């Protein structure tokens, strides 16, 4: 083997360290959308207390996903470091082969863990659908209660109409009593007129003693009629007093019922406002949950795509490098064959380099999507 020059080795090391720094910058952006997702989950937990348990499970799964992503970033750093070692020392390819096989086994384990996580998410979605059905049933119950309130308000309107009719009847009776009072006043005026006529008659009786004896019988009869009329007036006055007391009592009862109706109407209005507020809060909670679910689906799809890329596109150049290293272990006839093998190794290393760039750009796109959804 021809040893590489020191300047070439330093150039390759500097180039790979610069690439690693550039790749680590977008890789750190992968952790940005997950705290914002937890912030959204905290808001949803405040608005819908019934969904707290499911949100906690989602938060735990998000933390596990963060750990797995950090492990993937760490694995990417290892791969870049191993590429630098391959460029410097081709003799250590057998050790890299063993470490990469162990990493592939770990990746298979993690893919199995991702499948289990997907099954848990599907179960959680089924639970959410069940809760949505329960919310619909609760909304139907609320609508039924609103109908009952409408029926009660109709009954209250009928009671109000009855009260208005009773008030009209009482007003009619009061008008009749006023007319009766006017008749009594008129009769009293007539009585006063008659009394004045009696005074005139007494004066005439003083001058006409003979006519007094004749008219004495008529005066006795008139006095009896006056006594009878006075008794009738006293009876009507007592009836008027009783009627006035009944009117006062009925008016008090009406005022009490009117106050009760006003209180009932205020309570109904307050209950309707509370129901509308709760309906709006449920709608907001459902919208935010849908957004979080959509972002999680996209995030899991991106992770699956990233696992697919790492398991296929990394494996091919590594197998090429391993095969070329096996050929280098064998006898080499000429330096030209060595150059050809080194060119193949360089092509495989460049393929790994392009894949790491694609992977970092893909991770940065996932972070941007998380920011847009939040």
What is the DSSP annotation of 43-95? HHHHH-GGGHHHHHHHHHHHHHHHHHHHHHHHHHHHHHHHHHHHHH-GGGHHH
Contacts of 299 by beta carbon, 8 Å cutoff, 6+ apart:
33, 65, 366, 369, 370
- Tens of pLDDT, residue by residue, the chain (374 residues): 444 444 554 554 555 555 555 544 443 444 445 666 666 667 676 767 767 677 777 778 878 888 888 888 888 788 878 777 777 877 777 887 788 888 888 888 888 887 888 888 888 888 888 888 888 888 888 888 888 878 888 888 888 888 888 888 888 888 888 898 888 889 888 888 888 888 887 787 778 888 878 877 888 888 888 889 888 988 888 898 998 899 899 989 999 988 999 999 899 999 999 989 988 888 888 888 888 888 788 878 877 777 777 767 777 777 877 787 777 767 667 778 778 878 888 888 888 888 888 878 877 777 676 666 66
Half-sphere exposure of 7 (CA within 13 A, CB side): 0
- The whole-number pLDDT of residue 25 equals 47
- The whole-number pLDDT of residue 374 equals 60
Cβ atoms of 44 and 288 within 8 Å: the answer is yes
Please give the structure tokens belonging to residue 211: 């006519």
Shortest CA distance to 86 belongs to which of 9, 153, 20, 25?
A: 9
Please give the structure tokens belonging to residue 148: 């009952």
Query: What are the residue boundaries of the structural domains of the chain, listed by start?
Result: 6-145+285-373, 149-274
Burial class for 221, CB neighbours closer than 10 Å (0-12, 13-18, 19+)? exposed
- The whole-number pLDDT of residue 4 equals 44
- How far apart CA 374 and CA 361 sit, in angstroms, is 20
Q: Which long-range contacts (CB under 8 A, 24 or more apart) does 10-19 make?
A: 12/84, 12/87, 12/88, 13/84, 13/87, 13/88, 16/80, 16/83, 16/84, 16/87, 17/84, 19/80, 19/353, 19/356
- The whole-number pLDDT of residue 270 equals 92
């Amino acid at each position: 083997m021809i040893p590489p020059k020191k300047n070439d080795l330093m150039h390759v090391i500097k180039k790979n360290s610069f690439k690693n720094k550039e790749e680590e910058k977008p890789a750190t952006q992968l952790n940005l959308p997950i705290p914002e997702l937890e912030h959204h989950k905290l808001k949803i937990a405040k608005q819908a207390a019934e969904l707290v348990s499911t949100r906690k499970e989602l938060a735990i799964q998000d933390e596990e996903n963060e750990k797995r992503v950090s492990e993937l970033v760490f694995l990417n750093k290892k791969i870049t470091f191993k590429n630098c070692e391959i460029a410097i020392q081709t003799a250590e390819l057998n050790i890299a082969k063993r470490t990469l096989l162990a990493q592939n086994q770990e990746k298979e384990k993690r893919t199995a863990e991702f499948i289990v996580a997907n099954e848990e998410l599907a179960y959680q979605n089924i639970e959410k659908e069940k809760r949505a059905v329960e919310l619909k049933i609760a909304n139907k119950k609320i609508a039924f209660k609103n109908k009952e309130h409408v029926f009660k308000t109709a009954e209250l309107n009928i009671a109000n109409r009855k009260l208005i009719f009773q008030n009209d009847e009482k007003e009619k009776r009061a008008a009749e009593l006023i007319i009766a009072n006017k008749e009594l006043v008129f009769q009293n005026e007539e009585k006063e007129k008659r009394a004045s006529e009696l005074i005139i008659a007494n004066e005439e009786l003083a001058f006409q003693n003979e006519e007094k004896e004749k008219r004495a019988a008529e005066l006795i009869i008139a006095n009896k009629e006056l006594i009878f009329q006075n008794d009738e007036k006293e009876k009507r006055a007592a009836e008027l007093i009783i009627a006035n007391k009944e009117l006062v009592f009925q008016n008090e009862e009406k005022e009490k019922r009117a106050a009760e109706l006003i209180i009932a109407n205020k309570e109904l209005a307050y209950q309707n406002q509370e129901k509308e507020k709760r309906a709006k809060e449920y709608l907001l909670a459902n919208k935010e949950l849908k957004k979080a679910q959509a972002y999680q689906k996209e995030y899991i799809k991106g992770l699956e795509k990233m696992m697919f890329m790492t398991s296929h596109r990394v494996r091919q150049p590594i197998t090429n490098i391993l095969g070329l290293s096996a050929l280098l272990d064998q006898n080499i006839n000429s330096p030209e064959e060595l150059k050809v093998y080194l060119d193949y190794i360089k092509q495989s290393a460049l393929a790994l380099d392009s894949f790491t760039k694609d992977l970092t750009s893909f991770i940065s796109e996932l972070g941007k999507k998380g920011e847009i959804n939040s």
